[in-house]
Amino acid sequence: MDDGGRGNVTKWQTLHVGQDGIPRELEDEIASEYALTVVLNGDEFSTLVCSPTHQEELVYGFLASEGAIRSISQVKKLTIDGDRGYAYVVLDGEPSIGRERSSKRFIGSCCGKGRQFYYHGDMLTARTIMTRMTVTDEQVWSLMAALQESSADFISTGGVHNAALCTPDELLAVRTDIGRHNALDKLYGYSMLRGVRMGDKLIAFSGRLSSEVVLKAAKMGCGLLLSKSAPTDLALKLADELGITCIGFIRGRKLSVYTHRERLIISHRLP
């Protein structure tokens, strides 16, 4: 499994008061926060508030998620100045979708249904998922437990989100960030840079299943989303129409499947 190592944590001297009421001086571990400004073809495109690791993957995934690129071949050069907090991206031509189009509010329709896309870029880049892969409840519980156990940064700080690219049987890559969307964009960049086929993969996620999370999964081409947290109603409406299975509240031996439940195989049935 590619966990990328640690690097999202800073040491900080802290005065801690425990249940016994006695103050103690401790060296605490705090989640690192970093600002990375993406300069696209010479113009500032966006500033990402993120964790400082896997910046190249983050930039690729962010640009793809925003619709600025469709493939890594469009990027002629990517230079990251970590000291100053800049990522300089030179494209082979203009962005696939300009910032003014990707940020414009848009509600479109498809197949007679009113898909409520927030932005014009989402309408152009989110795709319906047709995967036939299935997963068992045992595999779901195992993957979520593995995600939680893999996150040393969360265990030590409690201040980050985690996302993992998985097969039904194992975690392939785990990415961590203070921003839940950044963690997913890092996975997107990881899959782009390595040419990972997404049709037979799942995403395990620590955060809430919002509409933005569902749209990122659709853009990546992933049809199964696992989370220990709750979904929103707009997320489920989009997931239902985009062919994405959403499984939430995965805690211990419990789970709730909300959309496209045909992909979940229940191995334990009541007598």
- Write out pLDDT tens, residues 189-221: 999 999 999 999 999 999 899 988 999 999 999
pLDDT score, position 270: 47
* Tens-digit pLDDT profile for residues 34-47: 899 999 999 999 99
- State yes or no: 84 annotated in a binding site: no
* Tens-digit pLDDT profile for residues 101-125: 444 433 333 333 444 444 445 555 6
pLDDT score, position 234: 87
pLDDT score, position 215: 92
pLDDT score, position 11: 86
First CA to last CA distance, the chain: 38
With contact defined as beta carbons under 8 Å apart, do 256 and 245 qualify?
Answer: no
Q: Provide the mean pLDDT of the chain.
A: 85
With contact defined as beta carbons under 8 Å apart, do 230 and 208 qualify?
Answer: yes
Amino acid at 233: D
pLDDT score of 98 more than 80? no
Q: Is 7 left (phi over 0), alpha (psi -120 to 50) or beta?
A: left
Report the top-level CATH class of 135-265. Answer: alpha beta
Determine the average pLDDT of the residues in 80-100. 86
Determine the average pLDDT of the residues in 68-74. 93
CA–CA distance, 150 with 18 (Å, rounded to integer): 27
pLDDT score of 244 more than 90? yes
pLDDT score of 242 more than 80? yes
Token pair in block for residue 214:
């569902």
Amino acid at 15: L
- State yes or no: 254 annotated in a binding site: yes
Determine the average pLDDT of the residues in 115-138. 71
pLDDT score of 57 more than 80? yes
Four-way CATH pick for 34-102: 3.10.20.10, 3.90.180.10, 3.40.50.720, 1.10.1040.10: 3.10.20.10
| Order of strands, sheet of 171-177, starting from the edge strand that comes earlier in the sequence | 171-177, 161-166, 202-205, 224-227, 245-251, 254-257
For this structure, is 110 an active site residue? Answer: no
- State yes or no: 253 annotated in a binding site: yes
pLDDT score, position 171: 96
Query: Among 23-27, 161-165, 184-188, where is mean pLDDT lowest?
Result: 23-27
Determine the average pLDDT of the residues in 53-63. 95
CA–CA distance, 89 with 91 (Å, rounded to integer): 6
pLDDT score of 51 more than 60? yes
pLDDT score, position 29: 82
Residue of 50, 111, 166, 222 with catalytic role: 111
Residue 154: band (very low, low, confident or very high) from pLDDT cuts 50, 70, 90: low
- State yes or no: 250 annotated in a binding site: yes
pLDDT score of 150 more than 90? no
Residue 100: band (very low, low, confident or very high) from pLDDT cuts 50, 70, 90: low
Q: Please state, for a pLDDT cut of 70, what percent of the chain lies above it.
A: 84
Residue 241: band (very low, low, confident or very high) from pLDDT cuts 50, 70, 90: very high
Radius of gyration of the chain (CA): 20
Parse the chain into domains and list their residue ranges: 34-102, 135-265
